[in-house]
Amino acid sequence: MSHQSTIKRITAPEIAARKGGEPIVVLTSYHAQSAALVDPHVDILMVGDSLGMVMHGLETTVPVPLDLMIAHAQAVVRGSERALVVVDMPFGSYEESPAMAFRNAARVMKETGCGAVKLEGGVQMAETIAFLTARGIPVMAHIGMTPQAVNQLGGFAARGRRQAEWARFEKDAQAVAEAGAFAMVIEAVAEGLAARITQEVPIPTIGIGASPECDGQVLVLEDMLGLSPRVPKFVKEYAELRTAVEGAVKAYARDVRARAFPAEEHTYSTLEEVPEALKRFKMSVS
Protein backbone atom coordinates (compact mmCIF):
# COMPACT_ATOMS: atom_id res chain seq x y z
CA MET A 1 0.00 0.00 0.00
CA SER A 2 1.09 3.61 -0.48
CA HIS A 3 3.32 5.04 2.22
CA GLN A 4 1.16 8.18 1.96
CA SER A 5 -1.89 6.35 3.35
CA THR A 6 -3.67 8.16 6.17
CA ILE A 7 -4.84 4.92 7.79
CA LYS A 8 -3.23 4.51 11.21
CA ARG A 9 -1.77 1.12 12.01
CA ILE A 10 -2.79 -0.72 15.13
CA THR A 11 0.02 -0.67 17.69
CA ALA A 12 1.26 -3.11 20.31
CA PRO A 13 0.02 -0.91 23.20
CA GLU A 14 -3.44 -0.83 21.59
CA ILE A 15 -3.46 -4.63 21.46
CA ALA A 16 -2.34 -4.80 25.11
CA ALA A 17 -5.25 -2.56 26.06
CA ARG A 18 -7.70 -5.06 24.53
CA LYS A 19 -7.30 -7.47 27.47
CA GLY A 20 -10.74 -8.79 28.36
CA GLY A 21 -12.39 -6.74 25.62
CA GLU A 22 -13.38 -7.42 22.02
CA PRO A 23 -11.59 -10.59 20.85
CA ILE A 24 -8.39 -9.99 18.88
CA VAL A 25 -8.39 -11.43 15.35
CA VAL A 26 -5.05 -12.75 14.07
CA LEU A 27 -4.06 -14.57 10.87
CA THR A 28 -0.72 -15.41 9.35
CA SER A 29 0.45 -13.76 6.15
CA TYR A 30 3.58 -14.44 4.15
CA HIS A 31 3.33 -12.18 1.10
CA ALA A 32 1.88 -8.88 -0.09
CA GLN A 33 -1.15 -10.26 -1.92
CA SER A 34 -2.52 -12.21 1.03
CA ALA A 35 -1.71 -9.30 3.36
CA ALA A 36 -3.80 -6.92 1.26
CA LEU A 37 -6.77 -9.33 1.32
CA VAL A 38 -6.60 -10.06 5.03
CA ASP A 39 -5.56 -6.65 6.38
CA PRO A 40 -9.02 -4.98 6.52
CA HIS A 41 -10.47 -7.79 8.61
CA VAL A 42 -7.85 -8.58 11.26
CA ASP A 43 -6.06 -6.83 14.10
CA ILE A 44 -2.71 -8.58 13.70
CA LEU A 45 -0.92 -10.03 10.69
CA MET A 46 1.51 -12.67 11.91
CA VAL A 47 4.53 -13.35 9.73
CA GLY A 48 5.10 -16.73 11.32
CA ASP A 49 8.13 -18.92 10.81
CA SER A 50 5.50 -21.47 9.79
CA LEU A 51 6.17 -19.97 6.35
CA GLY A 52 9.06 -22.41 6.15
CA MET A 53 6.61 -25.30 6.14
CA VAL A 54 3.73 -23.64 4.27
CA MET A 55 5.69 -21.76 1.59
CA HIS A 56 8.98 -23.63 1.34
CA GLY A 57 8.13 -27.26 2.02
CA LEU A 58 10.22 -27.68 5.17
CA GLU A 59 9.34 -30.39 7.68
CA THR A 60 9.65 -28.05 10.69
CA THR A 61 10.27 -24.37 11.38
CA VAL A 62 13.78 -25.02 12.73
CA PRO A 63 15.73 -24.43 9.46
CA VAL A 64 14.11 -21.06 8.69
CA PRO A 65 16.81 -18.33 8.46
CA LEU A 66 16.48 -14.73 9.61
CA ASP A 67 16.95 -13.35 6.09
CA LEU A 68 13.95 -15.35 4.86
CA MET A 69 11.76 -13.98 7.66
CA ILE A 70 12.82 -10.45 6.79
CA ALA A 71 12.08 -10.88 3.08
CA HIS A 72 8.56 -12.19 3.73
CA ALA A 73 7.89 -9.57 6.40
CA GLN A 74 8.88 -6.76 4.03
CA ALA A 75 6.28 -8.02 1.55
CA VAL A 76 3.57 -8.23 4.22
CA VAL A 77 4.25 -4.70 5.44
CA ARG A 78 4.13 -3.40 1.87
CA GLY A 79 0.84 -5.19 1.24
CA SER A 80 -0.94 -3.98 4.37
CA GLU A 81 -1.72 -0.67 6.01
CA ARG A 82 -3.95 -1.23 9.05
CA ALA A 83 -3.06 -4.35 11.04
CA LEU A 84 -0.17 -4.66 13.45
CA VAL A 85 2.51 -6.76 11.74
CA VAL A 86 4.27 -9.15 14.13
CA VAL A 87 7.30 -11.08 12.88
CA ASP A 88 8.56 -14.35 14.34
CA MET A 89 12.17 -14.47 15.44
CA PRO A 90 13.40 -17.75 13.92
CA PHE A 91 15.23 -20.49 15.78
CA GLY A 92 18.82 -19.53 16.59
CA SER A 93 18.30 -15.79 16.23
CA TYR A 94 17.59 -14.90 19.88
CA GLU A 95 18.31 -17.75 22.31
CA GLU A 96 22.05 -17.23 22.81
CA SER A 97 21.83 -13.97 24.75
CA PRO A 98 19.66 -10.88 25.24
CA ALA A 99 22.24 -8.84 23.32
CA MET A 100 22.08 -11.19 20.36
CA ALA A 101 18.29 -11.09 20.47
CA PHE A 102 18.32 -7.30 20.46
CA ARG A 103 20.66 -7.07 17.47
CA ASN A 104 18.52 -9.39 15.40
CA ALA A 105 15.16 -8.02 16.56
CA ALA A 106 16.32 -4.46 15.86
CA ARG A 107 17.38 -5.54 12.39
CA VAL A 108 13.97 -7.11 11.77
CA MET A 109 12.14 -3.96 12.80
CA LYS A 110 14.44 -1.60 10.90
CA GLU A 111 14.46 -3.58 7.66
CA THR A 112 10.77 -4.53 7.59
CA GLY A 113 8.87 -1.72 9.29
CA CYS A 114 6.95 -4.24 11.42
CA GLY A 115 5.43 -3.24 14.75
CA ALA A 116 6.61 -6.09 16.97
CA VAL A 117 8.45 -9.40 17.10
CA LYS A 118 7.47 -12.75 18.58
CA LEU A 119 9.69 -15.29 20.27
CA GLU A 120 9.10 -18.68 21.83
CA GLY A 121 9.73 -19.65 25.43
CA GLY A 122 8.55 -18.90 28.93
CA VAL A 123 10.59 -18.57 32.11
CA GLN A 124 13.88 -19.12 30.27
CA MET A 125 13.18 -16.22 27.88
CA ALA A 126 11.89 -13.71 30.46
CA GLU A 127 15.27 -11.99 30.79
CA THR A 128 15.50 -11.58 27.02
CA ILE A 129 11.97 -10.21 26.76
CA ALA A 130 12.72 -7.67 29.49
CA PHE A 131 15.95 -6.68 27.71
CA LEU A 132 14.15 -6.10 24.41
CA THR A 133 11.15 -4.25 25.79
CA ALA A 134 13.41 -1.96 27.83
CA ARG A 135 15.08 -0.98 24.56
CA GLY A 136 11.99 -0.17 22.56
CA ILE A 137 11.12 -3.48 20.92
CA PRO A 138 7.55 -4.71 21.52
CA VAL A 139 7.55 -8.46 22.14
CA MET A 140 4.79 -11.01 21.80
CA ALA A 141 5.58 -14.18 23.73
CA HIS A 142 4.72 -17.76 22.72
CA ILE A 143 4.19 -20.54 25.24
CA GLY A 144 2.65 -24.00 25.37
CA MET A 145 3.59 -26.10 22.38
CA THR A 146 6.59 -24.27 20.95
CA PRO A 147 7.31 -25.52 17.40
CA GLN A 148 10.97 -24.47 17.41
CA ALA A 149 11.55 -26.97 20.24
CA VAL A 150 10.05 -29.85 18.24
CA ASN A 151 13.28 -31.85 18.32
CA GLN A 152 13.48 -31.57 22.09
CA LEU A 153 9.78 -32.24 22.60
CA GLY A 154 9.76 -35.20 20.24
CA GLY A 155 6.95 -33.92 18.03
CA PHE A 156 4.05 -31.51 17.75
CA ALA A 157 1.87 -33.06 20.46
CA ALA A 158 -0.44 -30.93 22.59
CA ARG A 159 0.87 -29.83 25.99
CA GLY A 160 -0.62 -29.68 29.47
CA ARG A 161 -3.04 -32.55 28.98
CA ARG A 162 -2.52 -33.54 32.64
CA GLN A 163 -3.34 -31.04 35.36
CA ALA A 164 -0.16 -31.97 37.19
CA GLU A 165 1.72 -30.23 34.35
CA TRP A 166 -0.23 -26.98 34.51
CA ALA A 167 1.96 -25.19 37.05
CA ARG A 168 4.97 -24.97 34.73
CA PHE A 169 2.93 -23.39 31.95
CA GLU A 170 1.32 -20.96 34.37
CA LYS A 171 4.80 -19.95 35.52
CA ASP A 172 5.82 -19.43 31.90
CA ALA A 173 2.81 -17.18 31.31
CA GLN A 174 3.40 -15.14 34.44
CA ALA A 175 7.12 -14.77 33.66
CA VAL A 176 6.66 -13.40 30.13
CA ALA A 177 3.89 -11.05 31.28
CA GLU A 178 6.04 -9.70 34.10
CA ALA A 179 8.97 -9.31 31.69
CA GLY A 180 6.96 -6.87 29.57
CA ALA A 181 5.45 -8.88 26.71
CA PHE A 182 2.39 -7.03 25.36
CA ALA A 183 0.59 -10.30 24.51
CA MET A 184 1.24 -14.02 24.32
CA VAL A 185 0.35 -16.85 21.99
CA ILE A 186 -0.78 -20.03 23.74
CA GLU A 187 -0.47 -22.99 21.37
CA ALA A 188 -1.90 -26.50 21.56
CA VAL A 189 -2.60 -26.82 25.27
CA ALA A 190 -5.52 -28.23 27.23
CA GLU A 191 -8.55 -25.95 27.01
CA GLY A 192 -8.87 -25.59 30.77
CA LEU A 193 -5.22 -24.59 31.12
CA ALA A 194 -5.50 -21.90 28.44
CA ALA A 195 -8.66 -20.51 30.04
CA ARG A 196 -6.97 -20.44 33.44
CA ILE A 197 -3.87 -18.65 32.13
CA THR A 198 -6.10 -16.11 30.39
CA GLN A 199 -7.75 -15.32 33.73
CA GLU A 200 -4.44 -15.11 35.57
CA VAL A 201 -2.33 -12.86 33.35
CA PRO A 202 -2.83 -9.11 32.73
CA ILE A 203 -1.96 -9.24 29.02
CA PRO A 204 -3.99 -10.60 26.10
CA THR A 205 -3.71 -14.28 25.26
CA ILE A 206 -3.93 -15.36 21.63
CA GLY A 207 -5.07 -18.95 21.34
CA ILE A 208 -4.23 -21.49 18.67
CA GLY A 209 -5.51 -24.90 19.69
CA ALA A 210 -6.19 -23.45 23.13
CA SER A 211 -9.48 -22.03 24.45
CA PRO A 212 -12.38 -19.84 23.28
CA GLU A 213 -11.77 -17.97 26.54
CA CYS A 214 -8.52 -16.57 25.18
CA ASP A 215 -8.48 -12.86 24.36
CA GLY A 216 -7.96 -13.61 20.67
CA GLN A 217 -7.39 -16.38 18.16
CA VAL A 218 -4.82 -17.06 15.43
CA LEU A 219 -4.75 -19.57 12.58
CA VAL A 220 -2.47 -20.17 9.63
CA LEU A 221 -4.24 -18.57 6.67
CA GLU A 222 -3.62 -21.47 4.30
CA ASP A 223 -5.00 -23.91 6.86
CA MET A 224 -8.29 -22.09 7.40
CA LEU A 225 -8.74 -21.56 3.65
CA GLY A 226 -8.53 -25.29 2.99
CA LEU A 227 -5.30 -25.03 1.01
CA SER A 228 -3.20 -27.24 3.25
CA PRO A 229 -3.22 -31.01 2.59
CA ARG A 230 -3.22 -31.78 6.32
CA VAL A 231 -4.23 -29.60 9.24
CA PRO A 232 -4.10 -29.97 13.04
CA LYS A 233 -7.23 -30.81 15.02
CA PHE A 234 -7.64 -27.22 16.16
CA VAL A 235 -8.10 -25.82 12.64
CA LYS A 236 -11.54 -24.96 11.31
CA GLU A 237 -11.51 -24.82 7.51
CA TYR A 238 -13.64 -21.88 6.40
CA ALA A 239 -13.23 -22.66 2.69
CA GLU A 240 -12.11 -25.48 0.37
CA LEU A 241 -9.81 -23.53 -1.91
CA ARG A 242 -7.53 -26.49 -2.56
CA THR A 243 -10.33 -28.14 -4.53
CA ALA A 244 -11.16 -24.87 -6.30
CA VAL A 245 -7.54 -24.24 -7.26
CA GLU A 246 -7.07 -27.78 -8.58
CA GLY A 247 -10.26 -27.42 -10.63
CA ALA A 248 -9.10 -24.14 -12.12
CA VAL A 249 -5.69 -25.56 -13.02
CA LYS A 250 -7.27 -28.61 -14.68
CA ALA A 251 -9.57 -26.35 -16.71
CA TYR A 252 -6.64 -24.18 -17.80
CA ALA A 253 -4.58 -27.22 -18.83
CA ARG A 254 -7.54 -28.59 -20.78
CA ASP A 255 -8.00 -25.29 -22.68
CA VAL A 256 -4.32 -24.99 -23.50
CA ARG A 257 -4.13 -28.53 -24.87
CA ALA A 258 -7.30 -27.95 -26.93
CA ARG A 259 -5.93 -24.60 -28.18
CA ALA A 260 -9.04 -22.95 -26.73
CA PHE A 261 -6.84 -20.57 -24.77
CA PRO A 262 -5.80 -17.93 -25.54
CA ALA A 263 -8.87 -16.85 -27.48
CA GLU A 264 -9.07 -13.71 -29.62
CA GLU A 265 -10.04 -11.54 -26.65
CA HIS A 266 -6.81 -12.55 -24.88
CA THR A 267 -4.43 -11.56 -27.70
CA TYR A 268 -3.13 -8.29 -29.17
CA SER A 269 -3.66 -7.17 -32.75
CA THR A 270 -1.08 -5.24 -34.76
CA LEU A 271 -1.58 -1.51 -35.05
CA GLU A 272 -2.38 -1.94 -38.73
CA GLU A 273 -5.32 -4.16 -37.79
CA VAL A 274 -6.90 -1.65 -35.39
CA PRO A 275 -8.79 0.50 -37.96
CA GLU A 276 -10.33 -2.61 -39.55
CA ALA A 277 -11.31 -3.88 -36.10
CA LEU A 278 -12.94 -0.56 -35.28
CA LYS A 279 -14.83 -0.64 -38.59
CA ARG A 280 -16.20 -4.09 -37.77
CA PHE A 281 -17.19 -2.90 -34.29
CA LYS A 282 -19.10 0.12 -35.67
CA MET A 283 -20.93 -2.08 -38.14
CA SER A 284 -21.92 -4.52 -35.41
CA VAL A 285 -23.51 -1.81 -33.21
CA SER A 286 -25.25 0.11 -36.02
Which residue numbers are catalytic? 187
Omega within 30 of 0 (cis) for the link into 262: yes
* Residue 223 counted as an annotated binding residue: no
Binding site annotation covers 49? yes
Long-range contact pairs involving 62-70 (C-beta distance under 8 Å, separation at least 24):
62/91, 62/148, 62/150, 62/151, 64/90, 64/91, 65/90, 66/90, 66/93, 66/104, 66/107, 66/108, 69/108, 70/107, 70/108, 70/111, 70/112
121 conformational bin, left if phi > 0, alpha if psi -120 to 50, beta if neither: left
Question: Is 50 annotated as a binding-site member?
Answer: yes
> In this structure, which amino acid lies at residue 268?
Y
Residue 120 assigned to a binding site: yes
Instruction: Detail the residues annotated as belonging to a binding site for 3-methyl-2-oxobutanoate.
Output: 49-50, 88, 118
Annotated binding site for Mg(2+): 49, 88, 120
Q: List, as residue ranges, the binding site.
A: 49-50, 88, 118, 120
